[in-house]
Structure 1
C-alpha cells in the first residue's frame, strides 16, 4: 500500500474561533492547501493552471469533526484518492487531519471536477493531470466514479 500524500502544519491564531478551538472552516482550508501543494509538487502550480486556463472546482465538501484542535498544535493532513472516473474529469479525495498524537481530528471529503476557465464549462483534463490524480494513494473507500449517460 502506498503512503498517503501528507504535510504537517501548525494551527494558527487566524484558525481559532471564540470557543478556543479551531474554527470549522479552517479544516477545509488545510485540506484545500494540501491539494494545491500536491498538484504543485507534481508540476501543476497555480501559475501553470492559469496558463492552461484550467482549474479544479468542488461540487461537494463534507467535513466530519472528531477531536478539537487548539492554537499552535501540529496538524498532519493527508489526502487519498477515493474515486476517479475513466477520463479523469471527476474525482473524490478524502483528507484526514490528525492531532500530534495520531488521533484523527477530522475528515474532509471533496467531490470535484475540472473547469475550462475560458469557456466556463466542465472539461476532461489533459492526460498528465489524470495521471497525477491516479498516482494519489487510494483511500480504503475507493470506488470508480461511473457517470450515467445523459438521456
Structure 2
C-alpha cells in the first residue's frame, strides 16, 4: 500500500547482548530509524519541520518481542502512520527477519516477525512547547509525498 514504508538494517556486533541476541533497547532504535526515514522520504524531514517551528516527538512506545534477532541478520522494519482526530497520531512498526535464500531442501525461508512496536507521536510547536492541533493537516502542508503518510495522493 502507498502508506507503508520499510527500511532494512543489519544487526551489528555492538547491538548483541550477552545472550547472543539483539538487546531489547536496540529494537526501539530500529523503530526510530524507520520513523525518521519514513518522515524524511515523505518530505517531512527535521529540517523542513524545524523551518515551521515544529518537531515530531515520541510520547509513548510499546514493544512486543516475538522472536530473537542474531548477529549478521538483516531486519526489515516497516512503518505505517495512522491519524485520528486529536493532537496525537500513531506509527506502527513490524520488525521482520529478512529471509535468506531458500534452503537446498526447498524449505521456506525464515521471515518471522521479531517484534512489533507501537508509538504515539505528536507534532510539537517548538516555541510554545505545546502539541500542534491537527497534526495530519500540518504534516500534509509540509509533505512532498503525503500518500506515504496516508494523507491522500502525493
TM-score range, shorter chain: 0.7 to 0.9
The structure 2 residue matched to 1:120, chosen from 129, 135, 154, is 129
Q: Which residue of 1 aligns with 2:149?
A: 136
Q: Distance in 2 between matches of 1:112 and 1:134?
A: 18
Per-residue deviation, residues 93-143 of structure 1 (Å, max 9, x unmatched): 210000123210000000111111111111124735147577436xxxxxx
Describe the shift of the 1:52–1:14 C-alpha distance in structure 2 as closer, same or farther (beyond 3 A): farther
Q: Distance in 2 between matches of 1:3 and 1:113?
A: 18
**Residues 20-35 of structure 1 correspond to what in structure 2 (within 5 A)?**
20-35=20-35
Q: Secondary structure at the match of 1:97?
A: strand
**Residues 37-48 of structure 1 correspond to what in structure 2 (within 5 A)?**
37-48=37-48
**Runs of 5+ consecutive residues of structure 2 not aligned to the other structure:** 99-109
Deviation at residue 35 of structure 1 after TM alignment? 0.9
Q: Distance in 2 between matches of 1:85 and 1:126?
A: 8
Taking structure 2 as the reference length, what is the TM-score of the superposition?
0.77
Aligned length: 135
**Residues 1-151 of structure 1 correspond to what in structure 2 (within 5 A)?**
1-2=1-2, 4-81=4-81, 83-86=82-85, 89-100=87-98, 101-124=110-133, 125=135, 127=137, 129-130=139-140, 135-136=148-149
Per-residue deviation, residues 5-43 of structure 1 (Å, max 9, x unmatched): 111110112211121110101111111111111111122
- 8 A Cα contact 2:3 2:80, kept in partner: no
- 8 A Cα contact 2:2 2:147, kept in partner: no
Runs of 4+ in 1 over 3 A off after TM superposition: 130-137
Provide the alpha-carbon RMSD of the alignment: 2.2
Taking structure 1 as the reference length, what is the TM-score of the superposition?
0.78
**Runs of 5+ consecutive residues of structure 1 not aligned to the other structure:** 138-151
